[in-house]
Structure 1
Amino acid sequence: SEDGLADLEFELSWDGPDGRHVDTRRVFGVNMWRDFFPPGLDAALLGKNVGETVSIDFAPGALVEDRHAVHVHEIPLAAFDAASAGLADPRPARGRVLPLGVLHKAGIGGVYGGNRRPFRVLDVGAETFIADLNHPLAGTRIRLSAKVLGARKKRSEFGGRSRDFIAELTDGPGIQARAGGAPTDFFVEGWSARAVEDDDPTFYSVPRMAVHLDRRALQTIRDLYAELLPARGAILDLMSSLESHLPQGRKFERVAGLGLNRQELDSNAALTERVVQDLNASPALPFADASFDAALCTVSIEYLTQPVEIVREVARVLKPDAPFVVTFSNRWFPPKAIRVWKDMHPWERLGYVMELFLRSGAFTDLHTFSLIGDPRPDDDAHIRETDLSDPVFAVWGKRKG
């Protein structure tokens, strides 16, 4: 009701030129009277019970401003200020998403240094580049759903602030798609450099017996794997460690774990076989063609220095129509993460992983997924840093037949 608070799961879904995209945000304590909703959504939610879902389809221009040529600018390369945003690359790259503040010298109205709003680089020439300041979802047909997770009466209406859910729900989605369907130039000089270039097997020789995300985020990953992995069969756990995060209660005839630390792999009870291999030195997988029913890579894709080659290898060892699922978050191990990963907008990392699938030429039916907004467990070690659970991002596709 209008005098109540609601816990809602918003799902924004849309089709891009290369795949299907679903971005989910959970919000708790939504003020049905004070907060701002996308057109028609608040009215559709009133009177709904816990567990019910409403959906609205928005034509291009109805949820975010439609695309306009006035928001596309040709800018001299001399006006590109990478240093102001701490970017490693001194030049823009085609298709990349960058913070608007790097254009503060270009004389565009309303643009100031430090502005983190994203814009897209459409093209780069010898002396100028094309900057697209349109919203990344401009021109896109969008379906927005809201599921009622909980509802309760307000105690009072004093204090607080209004939330703009149009702005919140569309902040990030759209960035994962290629610009104009053309490949994004993630792979400029130095893209795979790492802070510590020491030999990987030596660096990882000391076991790290720890999971890297909070347990609520890991449960989201397990739930996703439960949906996407076959009920039984052979699973490849790429860049494995002490846990594979497979759905609980599910049995698989084979789970092959490939990682860098023998002790970590030996501690993983889900594995039926274990392989120690440095993929950055030897991307060829030691498995026969078409020998797996699914493959997964959990919070590790950001450490690969030859990722396209490895995605092709994963395709080789998968059976036709078998899924390859890559999951990640906003936490990683800084010394070994590649440079381009650290410079990217969170939703641009979805685009980077999609680019790996697309450049491999071996996958179809591509999807991206994001989930943010769950509460962090009270006993989690990082609860003082943020009360939100680690976000979960995923990309998957099926091996072409």
Structure 2
Amino acid sequence: MSKNEKNFIEAILKLDWQSPYAAHQEEYFAKINFWREGDLFPKDIAKALAEAKEGDYFSFEFKAGELFPFREDFVLEIDPKVQYRPPERFSHVKLKLGRFYPLFCFKFLPGILSSSIFPARVVGINGEKGRVKLDANHPLSYYPLKFSLKIEKIYPKERETGGRCRDWIEEAFKVGPGMEARYDHLPTDFDIDDPESFLREDESADMLFYSEPRFIGHIDRLCHKHLIEFYSRLLPKEGKILDLMSSWESHLPDFPFEVIGLGINEEELKANPRLNAYVVKDINADPTLPFDDESFDALVCDLSIEYVTKPLALLKEIKRILKPGGLVAFSFSNRYFPPKVIKLWVDLHEFERMGYVLELLIRSGFTELNTYSLRGFPRPQDDKWIGCTLQSDPLYVVWGKKP
């Protein structure tokens, strides 16, 4: 019997991979019932888990197609007039190059269940012939992967009862990771140049909509803690930082920053103890930023990029006010205000949203691009949404630097 046969193992599962334009890291919290689930891991990983102790770190390399196999027969050519049949709620979504669509939106795909929730990517559009090429392979099947796990906690089970048996590799990485990268160097068609992509349910003036202060958290307390911890690793230890689209709460570590906030509600900004100064401005009405050229060491825009209606104009300004080598980071989760979120955001998978932000950074000339995801943690017991979801809010961060 292995050392951990009767134990629970709490671990962070991590995938590191590199696409042509960015480095990517995916992390997922797993509570592993080793007796029930250990054999579902690849052999070398299961062997490491069997004898692991708290604090251990293991790393494994996988060739492209090894962890997530590639199948030639999963690359399909379809007639969208006949085979693209999305449910009514998705009927407005058009097929675009590089975008992902649930397989249940397509009919008559050989070897694929019509009820499958897994995504397929549009990798070719032949307008003359009216044909579309789909790739139903896992998007990570094209990349070498570094899989690692950090053992956080090991403790005995009180008893073995019935319940769910989880394939943790599949749960953590089967749907989502990989969707943030371009396909074969081609820009993903997010319709960034189409004004309709940035329409909102409520087109009233933002100054009016946000005139009443909202002292509410936009992510749960654990996700907030994780974002602060992440920024403590990412941001410079000192300097001048712009908290763009700020509110009553920043998500910055306790470093000796000079923090300037720019937001839309003055009462919220006044209540933010992290700000050294603030500016009230509606950047959707005018994306010009009222700061000198090359005046900031870093800029963060937290939980807000999904509301920006002129993102390329805003990024031009961000690039202007950052010092050379200055960092810009966008963070978000899976929550938003429906009246003011842009139409495009709602149509995208959470991981595609990272791809959208990456595309903005690429088009704006930023370099050293990265994405990060953190998911799977249990929701705080005192959170008011614990009855709706048992998982903490996911965290996504996309960042780059001014050349």
Give the TM-score normalised by the residue count of structure 1. Answer: 0.94
| Contact residue 85 and residue 99 of structure 1 kept, 8 A | no
Select which of 276, 279, 287 maps to 2:291. Answer: 287
Correspondence 1:389 to 2:384: no
Q: 1:9 to 1:216 in 2, by over 3 A?
A: same
Correspondence 1:335 to 2:370: no
Correspondence 1:52 to 2:53: no
Deviation of the 1:169 alpha carbon? 2.7
Select which of 107, 110, 120 maps to 1:108. Answer: 110
- Look up the match of 2:98: 95
- Look up the match of 2:11: 8
| Contact residue 56 and residue 144 of structure 1 kept, 8 A | yes
Correspondence 1:271 to 2:281: no
Deviation of the 1:159 alpha carbon? 1.4
Show CA shifts across 1:21-65 (max 9, x none).
Answer: 11000012x111221113310101222221111111111122111
Show CA shifts across 1:88-143 (max 9, x none).
Answer: 63520111111111112x4433331x532111111223222111111111121111
Which has the higher mean CA deviation after the structures are superposed, 135-144 or 73-82? 73-82
* Matches of 1:393 and 1:85, distance apart in 2: 29
Which has the higher mean CA deviation after the structures are superposed, 122-131 or 172-181? 122-131
Deviation of the 1:70 alpha carbon? 2.1
Select which of 194, 202, 215 maps to 2:208. Answer: 202
Q: 1:80 to 1:306 in 2, by over 3 A?
A: farther
Aligned length: 393
Q: 1:166 to 1:121 in 2, by over 3 A?
A: same
- Look up the match of 1:262: 266
Deviation of the 1:294 alpha carbon? 0.3
| Contact residue 369 and residue 401 of structure 2 kept, 8 A | yes
After TM superposition, the structure 1 = structure 2 runs for residues 238-257 of structure 1, keeping only pairs within 5 Å, are 238-248=244-254, 250-252=255-257, 254-257=258-261
Between the aligned residues of both structures, percent identity stands at 41
Deviation of the 1:83 alpha carbon? 4.2
Q: Secondary structure at the match of 1:325?
A: strand
| Contact residue 176 and residue 351 of structure 1 kept, 8 A | yes
* Matches of 2:64 and 2:43, distance apart in 1: 14
* Matches of 1:169 and 1:377, distance apart in 2: 20
Q: Kindly provide the amino acid, as one letter, of the partner of residue 310 in structure 2.
A: Q
Give the TM-score normalised by the residue count of structure 2. Answer: 0.94
Which has the higher mean CA deviation after the structures are superposed, 148-157 or 371-380? 148-157
- Look up the match of 1:180: 184
| Contact residue 265 and residue 280 of structure 2 kept, 8 A | yes
| Contact residue 63 and residue 166 of structure 1 kept, 8 A | no
| Contact residue 88 and residue 343 of structure 1 kept, 8 A | no
Show CA shifts across 1:149-178 (max 9, x none).
Answer: 111222333412321123123221111101
- Look up the match of 1:303: 307
Q: Kindly provide the amino acid, as one letter, of the partner of residue 273 in structure 1.
A: A
* Matches of 2:208 and 2:321, distance apart in 1: 28
| Contact residue 82 and residue 90 of structure 1 kept, 8 A | no
Deviation of the 1:85 alpha carbon? 6.0
What are the ranges of 5 or more consecutive residues in structure 1 without an aligned counterpart?
none
| Contact residue 23 and residue 371 of structure 2 kept, 8 A | yes
After TM superposition, the structure 1 = structure 2 runs for residues 126-145 of structure 1, keeping only pairs within 5 Å, are 126=127, 127-145=130-148
* Matches of 1:137 and 1:47, distance apart in 2: 29
* Matches of 1:45 and 1:231, distance apart in 2: 36
Q: Secondary structure at the match of 2:246?
A: coil
- Look up the match of 2:122: 121
Correspondence 1:191 to 2:192: no
Show CA shifts across 1:273-303 (max 9, x none).
Answer: 2111111121111111110000000000000
- Look up the match of 1:165: 168
Q: Secondary structure at the match of 1:26?
A: strand
* Matches of 1:82 and 1:218, distance apart in 2: 39
Q: Secondary structure at the match of 1:335?
A: coil
Select which of 198, 213, 219 maps to 1:213. Answer: 219
| Contact residue 85 and residue 102 of structure 1 kept, 8 A | no
Deviation of the 1:388 alpha carbon? 1.2
* Matches of 2:314 and 2:91, distance apart in 1: 25
Q: Secondary structure at the match of 1:78?
A: helix
- Look up the match of 2:34: 32
| Contact residue 80 and residue 91 of structure 1 kept, 8 A | no
Q: 1:82 to 1:315 in 2, by over 3 A?
A: farther
Q: Secondary structure at the match of 1:86?
A: helix
Q: 1:277 to 1:88 in 2, by over 3 A?
A: farther
Correspondence 1:320 to 2:321: no
Deviation of the 1:233 alpha carbon? 0.8
